[in-house]
């Protein structure tokens, strides 16, 4: 019975006749032995009959808790259909409703009341972990503070690590640091799963996080930690605190940057322009915006610009308007992009003044790329670059259909949530999601495969180049700036190779570099089967 209740070992109706005899399963299972392929087909048939995406999310969670190999086989074989259900956009709704749909715990919930014994909690975890995704739930997607309900994010991210890059599920640990919530609705929700208290802050918060990081490194030597969906005021501070001493990264800052830069590289293959000649205007000035801008600056410098010249080509607009040098009270991460310029309150006015070649939306303000914004970009540029990267879908700056229609089909468009193909004036455009799942699984695979001691910006730069190189001319011809999602394991493997090469070249890897890096990476990839 223990086998049937362990999702890492359970095969359900696929246990063979010999296994049923040898493992004491005779009688617990119906007589017919099903192949894994038939099980996959049955899961998909049932899934497609469910009435809503949230119901499908719950059903997939149940499968994940019952049979991991089958769950990941379903995801791998149907990635286009399943990824939006287990991650964006559905995971946002799932986190909002987490207390209502909660069934079986997955990962570790480490609460503020556990201070002083976090190492004890981590020691309860039964597997030798190599990769932790951790959140404190303060800034879940564009939805804000969801507290302990944010566990859906690390669970979803690690599912993509396994499906998209082949990191074995036994090596993955999702963690939520439950430090309370300032969300009044959750504090008053009878089904909220987390601590009913206001968030820890200041020194108490930092000490709690530091205890977790220290205990994680001692319990799981060499473990890589990915920070996910922390609020700006914590995200930058924590990344800078740990990035030069342990293998840690923040996907909202660095992963988003790499996938956006890859999209720009792809767009420039269409326009024929150079990155160093672009002017990029961001709607948003938080983790994503400054992370993308920092990586663009590095890439522009690689093309010959000075740092000052490159920084000057990147501009931020926040809730108070254009970020300019004379504004009082700017937070540290905005200061680099606070230029000498008269204040401008409106995004459209900033476009008319700065005449950007690319606009990138990462502010989670739904509909902010208005028809006027898109038409103005089309008037300024033959092929305007328009990235509406906020998610979930309700927070997207514009839809694919709006981007193409209001630019006469000339926009080079990428999105943060999935949109269907668009038919306009007899041509079909296929927008692709600039989803971090193109980047972070490959980076994680490369770093863990070689035992990287740090995760560096250079690794994200080579990841962006590797991703862009996998976009075909056929992709570009139909408006796709990223490869087709069914190629994601190929993409992740290529990124992992590039990341591992950087680690070995910079003395950050364990042991000697393998003679055949591609074969080495593929040997580390989990293939879900019985």
Per-residue pLDDT, averaged over 149-178, amounts to 98
What is the structure's pLDDT at 24? 96
Which of the four pLDDT bands, split at 50, 70 and 90, describes residue 391?
confident
Pinpoint the alpha helices (H) of 253-346: 256-271, 287-302, 307-312, 332-335
What is the structure's pLDDT at 257? 97
Give me the sign of the Cα torsion angle 503, 506, 510, 513.
positive
pLDDT digits (tens, 9 = 90+) for 25-71: 999 999 999 999 999 999 999 999 999 999 999 999 999 999 999 99
What is the structure's pLDDT at 332? 87
Q: What is the 3-state secondary structure (H, E, C) of 194-228?
A: CCCCCCCCHHHHHHHHHHHHHHHHHHCCCCEEEEC
Kindly tell me if the per-residue pLDDT of 142 is higher than 90. no
Kindly tell me if the per-residue pLDDT of 335 is higher than 90. yes
What is the structure's pLDDT at 210? 98
Cα atoms in the 13 Å half-sphere on the side-chain side of 257: 27
What is the structure's pLDDT at 408? 97
Q: How far apart are CA 461 and CA 450, in angstroms?
A: 18
Q: How far apart are CA 176 and CA 199, in angstroms?
A: 13
Asked if residues 292 and 261 have their Cβ atoms less than 8 Å apart, the reply is: yes
Which of the four pLDDT bands, split at 50, 70 and 90, describes residue 385?
very high
Cα 460 to Cα 64, 305, 333, distances in angstroms: 30, 20, 19
Comparing 481 with 88, the larger pLDDT belongs to 481
What is the structure's pLDDT at 387? 98
Kindly tell me if the per-residue pLDDT of 19 is higher than 90. yes
* 360: β partners: 282, 387
Closest by Cα among 245, 220, 255 to 441? 255
Kindly tell me if the per-residue pLDDT of 427 is higher than 90. yes
Out of 337-341, 390-394, 418-422, which region has the weakest mean confidence (pLDDT)? 390-394
Asked if residues 391 and 417 have their Cβ atoms less than 8 Å apart, the reply is: yes
Q: Which of 11, 56, 130, 157 is catalytic?
A: 157
Per-residue pLDDT, averaged over 113-141, amounts to 97
What is the structure's pLDDT at 446? 98
Q: How far apart are CA 514 and CA 503, in angstroms?
A: 12
Asked if residues 232 and 444 have their Cβ atoms less than 8 Å apart, the reply is: no
Closest by Cα among 270, 258, 292, 293 to 438? 258
Q: Categorise residue 302: left if φ over 0, alpha if ψ from -120 to 50, beta otherwise.
A: alpha
pLDDT digits (tens, 9 = 90+) for 484-502: 999 999 999 999 999 999 9
Per-residue pLDDT, averaged over 341-369, amounts to 97
Share of the chain above pLDDT 70, in %: 100
What is the structure's pLDDT at 490? 98
What is the structure's pLDDT at 417? 86
What is the structure's pLDDT at 125? 97
Q: Which of 87, 161, 242, 438 is catalytic?
A: 87
Q: Categorise residue 229: left if φ over 0, alpha if ψ from -120 to 50, beta otherwise.
A: left
- Which residues, at least 6 apart from 492, have a Cβ–Cβ distance to it below 8 Å? 164, 165, 166, 441, 442, 445
> Is 334 an active-site residue?
no
Q: How far apart are CA 423 and CA 381, in angstroms?
A: 22
Kindly tell me if the per-residue pLDDT of 179 is higher than 90. yes
Q: Categorise residue 272: left if φ over 0, alpha if ψ from -120 to 50, beta otherwise.
A: left
pLDDT digits (tens, 9 = 90+) for 219-238: 999 999 999 999 999 999 99
What is the structure's pLDDT at 321? 97
What is the structure's pLDDT at 343? 96
Which of the four pLDDT bands, split at 50, 70 and 90, describes residue 392?
confident
What is the structure's pLDDT at 272? 96
> Is 427 an active-site residue?
no
Distance between first and last Cα of the chain: 18
Kindly tell me if the per-residue pLDDT of 101 is higher than 90. yes
The token pair that represents 405 in the structure block: 């229609």
pLDDT digits (tens, 9 = 90+) for 277-325: 999 999 999 999 999 999 999 999 999 999 999 999 999 999 999 999 9
Q: 89 preceded by cis ω (within 30°)?
A: yes
Residue-averaged pLDDT of the chain: 97
pLDDT digits (tens, 9 = 90+) for 411-423: 999 999 899 999 9
């Amino acid at each position: 019975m223990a086998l049937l209740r362990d999702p890492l070992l359970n095969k359900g109706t696929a246990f063979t006749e010999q296994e049923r005899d040898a493992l004491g399963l005779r009688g617990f299972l119906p007589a017919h032995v099903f192949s894994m392929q038939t099980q996959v087909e049955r899961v998909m048939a049932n899934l497609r009959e469910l009435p809503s995406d949230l119901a499908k999310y719950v059903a997939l969670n149940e499968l994940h808790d019952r049979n991991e190999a089958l769950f990941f086989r379903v995801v791998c074989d149907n990635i286009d259909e399943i990824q939006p259900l287990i991650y964006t956009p559905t995971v946002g709704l799932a986190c909002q409703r987490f207390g209502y749909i909660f069934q079986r715990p997955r990962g570790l919930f480490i609460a503020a009341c556990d201070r002083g014994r976090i190492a004890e909690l981590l020691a309860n975890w039964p597997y030798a972990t190599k990769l932790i995704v951790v959140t404190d739930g303060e800034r879940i997607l564009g939805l804000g503070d969801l507290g302990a309900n944010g566990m859906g994010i690390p669970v979803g991210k690690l599912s993509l690590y396994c499906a998209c890059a082949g990191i074995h599920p036994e090596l993955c640990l999702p963690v939520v640091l439950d430090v309370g919530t300032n969300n009044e609705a959750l504090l008053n929700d009878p089904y909220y799963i987390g601590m009913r208290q206001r968030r820890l802050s200041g020194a108490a918060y930092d000490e709690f996080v530091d205890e977790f990081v220290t205990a994680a490194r001692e319990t799981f030597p060499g473990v890589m930690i990915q920070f996910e969906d922390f609020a700006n005021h914590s995200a930058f501070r924590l990344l800078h605190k740990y990035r030069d001493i342990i293998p840690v990264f923040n996907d909202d800052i660095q992963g988003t940057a790499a996938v956006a830069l890859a999209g720009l590289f792809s767009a420039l293959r269409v326009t024929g322009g150079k990155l160093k000649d672009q002017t990029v205007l961001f709607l948003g000035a938080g983790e994503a915006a400054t992370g993308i801008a920092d990586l663009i600056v590095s890439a522009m410098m690689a093309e010959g610009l000075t740092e000052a010249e490159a920084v000057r080509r990147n501009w931020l607009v926040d809730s108070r308007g254009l970020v300019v040098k004379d504004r009082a009270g700017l937070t540290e991460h905005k200061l680099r992009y606070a230029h000498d310029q008269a204040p401008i309150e409106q995004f459209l006015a900033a476009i008319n003044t700065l005449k950007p070649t690319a606009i990138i939306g990462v502010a989670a303000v739904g509909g902010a790329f208005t028809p006027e914004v898109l038409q103005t970009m089309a008037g300024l540029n033959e092929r305007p670059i328009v990235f509406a990267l906020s998610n979930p879908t309700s927070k997207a700056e514009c839809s694919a259909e709006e981007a193409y229609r209001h630019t006469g089909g000339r926009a080079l468009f990428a999105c943060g949530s999935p949109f269907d193909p668009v038919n306009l004036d007899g041509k079909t455009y296929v927008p692709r999601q600039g989803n971090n799942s193109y980047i972070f699984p490959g980076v994680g695979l490369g770093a863990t495969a070689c035992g990287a001691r740090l995760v560096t910006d250079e690794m994200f730069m080579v990841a962006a180049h590797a991703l862009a190189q996998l976009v075909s001319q056929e992709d570009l011809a139909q408006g796709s700036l990223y490869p087709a999602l069914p190629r994601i394991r190929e993409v992740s493997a290529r990124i992992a190779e590039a990341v591992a090469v950087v680690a070995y070249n910079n003395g950050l890897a364990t042991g000697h570099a393998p003679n055949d890096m591609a074969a080495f990476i593929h040997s580390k990839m989990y293939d879900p089967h019985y």
